[in-house]
Amino acid sequence: MSILKTFQYFNNLNLSASARSLSSTFSSGIIQNFNAEIANGGIVPGFKLAPVYKDRIAIQDCYGKLTYDNLFRAAKKFSIQLSEVLGGQKQKTISYLCKGDSTHVLVQWAIWMSGNIAVPLSPQHPPPLLEYFLEDSGTALVICDKKLVNILPNSCKENVQIIDFPVLLHAEAVFKSDSQAIRNNDNMDENVFEDLPDGKFYANSDALILYTSGTTSKPKGVVHGFKQLAFQIASLHTAWKYSCNDVLLHTLPLHHVHGQINSVAAGLAAGAMLRMLPNFNPTIIWSHLLGVEKGDHRRVNVLMGVPTMYTKLIDEFDKVLAKKVTQKEYIRNLLVTKMRLMISGSAPLPVPIYERWEEISGHKLLERYGMTEIGMAISNPYEPMNKRIPGFIGLPLPGVSIQIASIDPEKNITPLIILETPPPNLQINLSNYNYCLKVEEPSKNLFILRNEEKRHEPKCKITYMDNKSGKNQISGELLVRGSSVFNKYWNRPEQTKSEFTPDGWFKTGDTASFDGGIIKLLGRTSVDIIKSGGYKISALDVETLVLGHPNIADVAIVGMPDLTWGEKVVAIVELKNETSLTLKELQNWGLKFIPRYQLPTELFIVEKLPRNLMGKVNKKELCQKFVKNKRS
């Protein structure tokens, strides 16, 4: 945002001089208090920054706009109600079933303000899975949108106390005009944090339970403390340069790390604006990206998605938007100049999708690596963009250490290489977010925008354990350590212990390589590394190749048992409309690109490849299905 536009923004709000002065004095004072808490070992959750951002818009959704202050005050009122229901108890698990809009944030903040643990549920989950989550988490209370209560299984309605989402409270928080937002902020005072837990409480308390996707085993409740969340958010702010000038277009599920932390929590902690859509619709997404959606008063500049989303956006572009060369050039130029960051994650990004999106948008998608247990751990660089390499996931994020190791049949671990990036600074410095705290000549409505502090990414330290700075590829099991790694699995102490090495490294279950100074993910050790005829084959590499076939819309490569080869490479594909494909045709085409031993030796064609909400395929279930079908 330019200085001129900043002046215009605040002028349009028509702030009174007293309100502007209060903003400066109030903000500076509480930031100092927050940093003192942090210096003494406390944690300041992101929602406590909301009163600092005051009249800025936090969320725009189907209901309207909510300022940071209105959102904070509504959440605080609801937190008092929750505390009364629980008799003042803290660190109880509270589940909530809301749509993907501002109601989710309001409820979550209220749970945290009351000192309890948030367990987000999804309307997309079937009743048996909801029942499992509620029982496994030992939920003390369920907060539910009235329109979604029928989704809950009957057993839950009988055994767990259910509270309706406070619709009226939410309606009061949504404003229809900027002048109303200012009236709501006139009574700002320093008692806004009264009755909220202090920094020491949050430093030693659990915040969130997210359930794993269950692609390799039964879903487990992953517990993140406020401390882990603070480190994750600070790491992302450092690496991806979040700003209060950002407008994040949000369509991701809110029961996973990608939507929950990367988008919502990190965005709001930086004072950004979230434009939350009820679901993913490629036509509507394009209208926001191009700035033609009705009601957009600020242009979107950050998009986070999964590979399936980008595939659907490409399809929409080809069908509707790519009619003229001049139109294609206009769209590309617009996205290059207006979009700051586009991210893909939660599932491997096929190289053909990466390359096609760059052709359309001029953006190299930033691919990163994370898990429910560790948040984000590895990322391609924010800048320069030309160092983002398709098929690679980059280097450790700030505060994260990565180890690639070999594990023998007796499960003895031998480190091969360790990569470490210094931790982020948890101290709050709003100048990093281009936030205006200093008022110059209030009578003339002049504001000075503080210069953004240059935030260089910390340099990664690389240690070769065999003392060789070798140029050869190093492959092995991927292990992670750092302050952002989860606390524990909920009520599973033995399983928690088994997932860590004796010296504190979390075993991701993934295989990776360090090649040319960058990390490449080869896939899940159990399902994506196919051992065939003495070769170790990356299913992800073969998927990327096969997806380049002109007749194939989607693919999963799996290894199936074979008496001769140990495992054979099997392709399960979804074809494009009105096309066909035989195994021989696929093999003849593939021989132009990869060795024969990597080619699929069996082909199954399905109408639709099953993927979960985050675009992942449960390959174990898929293998079992096709093995069973062959036997029958």
Q: Which residues of the chain have pLDDT under 50?
A: 1-23, 25, 179, 181-183, 185-186, 435-455, 631-632
Cβ neighbours around 218 below 10 Å, total: 9
- Four-residue CA torsion sign, 214, 622, 552, 583: positive
Q: What is the pTM of this model?
A: 0.82
User: Model confidence over 129-142: pLDDT tens digits?
Assistant: 888 999 999 998 99
Angle, helices 307-316/282-289, rounded to nearest 10 degrees:
80
Residue 370: per-residue pLDDT: 94
Question: Does some domain include residue 517?
Answer: no
Residue 432: per-residue pLDDT: 59
Dist CA 587 CA 506 (whole Å): 39
Question: Does some domain include residue 429?
Answer: no
Specify the number of domains making up the chain.
Answer: 2
User: Phi, psi (5° rounding) for residue 261?
Assistant: -100, -55
CA 304, 398, 416 angle in degrees (round to 5)? 105
Task: Indicate the residue among 180, 197, 214 that finishes a domain.
Answer: 197
Dist CA 119 CA 241 (whole Å): 28
**Which residues, including other chains, have CB under 8 Å from residue 552's CB and lie 6 or more apart?**
546, 573, 574, 575, 576, 581
Among 101, 98, 44, CA closest to 227: 44
Dist CA 491 CA 516 (whole Å): 41
Among 340, 388, 390, 382, CA closest to 361: 340
Beta bridge partners of 96: 120, 143
Extract long-range pairs of 103-106: CB within 8 Å, 24+ residues apart.
Answer: 103/145, 103/165, 103/170, 104/254, 104/264, 105/58, 105/59, 105/71, 105/75, 105/264, 105/268, 106/71, 106/74, 106/75, 106/78, 106/169, 106/170, 106/173
Among 382, 374, 348, CA closest to 555: 348
In eight-state DSSP terms, residue 568 is E
Q: What CATH number has the domain bearing residue 584?
A: 3.30.300.30
Question: Does some domain include residue 96?
Answer: yes
Dist CA 272 CA 437 (whole Å): 15
What DSSP element (H or E) covers 312? helix 307-316
Task: Indicate the residue among 197, 226, 258 that finishes a domain.
Answer: 197
Question: Structural domain of residue 590, as residue ranges?
Answer: 529-631
Residue 613: per-residue pLDDT: 64
In eight-state DSSP terms, residue 175 is B
| Burial of residue 294 (number of CB atoms within 10 Å: 0-12, 13-18, 19+) | exposed
Dist CA 117 CA 91 (whole Å): 6
Dist CA 398 CA 385 (whole Å): 18
In the chain, helix, strand, coil percent, each to 5?
40, 25, 35
C-alpha 592: how far from chain center = 37
User: Phi, psi (5° rounding) for residue 312?
Assistant: -70, -35
Provide the Cα torsion 303, 306, 308, 311; round to 10°. Answer: 40
Among 53, 66, 47, CA closest to 109: 47
> Is residue 268 a contact partner of residue 276, using CB atoms and an 8 Å limit?
no
Question: Does some domain include residue 267?
Answer: no
Question: Does some domain include residue 470?
Answer: no
Residue 176: per-residue pLDDT: 59
The backbone region for 32, taken as left when phi is positive above 0, alpha when psi lies in -120 to 50, beta otherwise, is alpha
Cβ neighbours around 570 below 10 Å, total: 22
Measured distance between the N- and C-terminal CA atoms of the chain, rounded to whole angstroms: 63
> Is residue 569 a contact partner of residue 599, using CB atoms and an 8 Å limit?
yes
Token readout for 197 is 């837990």
Q: What CATH number has the domain bearing residue 75?
A: 3.40.50.980
> Is residue 523 a contact partner of residue 538, using CB atoms and an 8 Å limit?
yes
Question: Does some domain include residue 125?
Answer: yes
Residue 163: helix, strand or coil by DSSP?
strand
Beta bridge partners of 396: 378
Question: Does some domain include residue 117?
Answer: yes
Question: Does some domain include residue 109?
Answer: yes
Among 567, 560, 588, 585, CA closest to 575: 585
Task: Indicate the residue among 175, 197, 219 that finishes a domain.
Answer: 197
Residue 9: per-residue pLDDT: 33
